[in-house]
A = this chain, B = another copy of it.
Amino acid sequence: MHILLTYDVNTTTPEGRRRLRSVAKLCEGYGQRVQKSVFEILSDEPGLLKLLDRIMRTIDEEADSIRVYRLPPDGFTTVRTLGQARLTPHNDALIL
């Protein structure tokens, strides 16, 4: 599956800034960071559920927001970019 994961983590507290780093670190294990709080993730359903479970145990449900969009198979390569944004190569081997 081609997934776009976007998040807003409330960073007004040191605890929030720690959560932000943790969420980013978790996502880095599953895909490519394409913007500060946007990841392109290649995963199967079990892998995605495992990631979401770990994120769920990391965030503050009252303060943070996670969105997980399913893209079409060409979603990463047909993205339109302006400014510094670039197409991001993915390592297909990530789909175990």
Nearest B residue to A4 by beta-carbon distance? B69
Asked if A75 is at the interface (CB within 8 A of a chain B CB), the reply is yes
Assembly CA distance A95 to B18 (angstroms): 41
Assembly CA distance A82 to B55 (angstroms): 9
Contacts of A56 in B (CB 8 A): 82
Number of copies: 2
Contacts of A63 in B (CB 8 A): 83-84
Q: Report how many residues on chain A are interfacial, defined by Cβ distance under 8 Å.
A: 35
Are B69 and A83 interface neighbours, CB within 8 A? no
**Among B8, B52, B59, B85, contact of A66 (Cβ-Cβ < 8 Å):** B85
Q: Interface residues, chain A, CB within 8 Å of chain B?
A: 4, 6-8, 34-38, 52, 55-56, 59-72, 75, 78-85
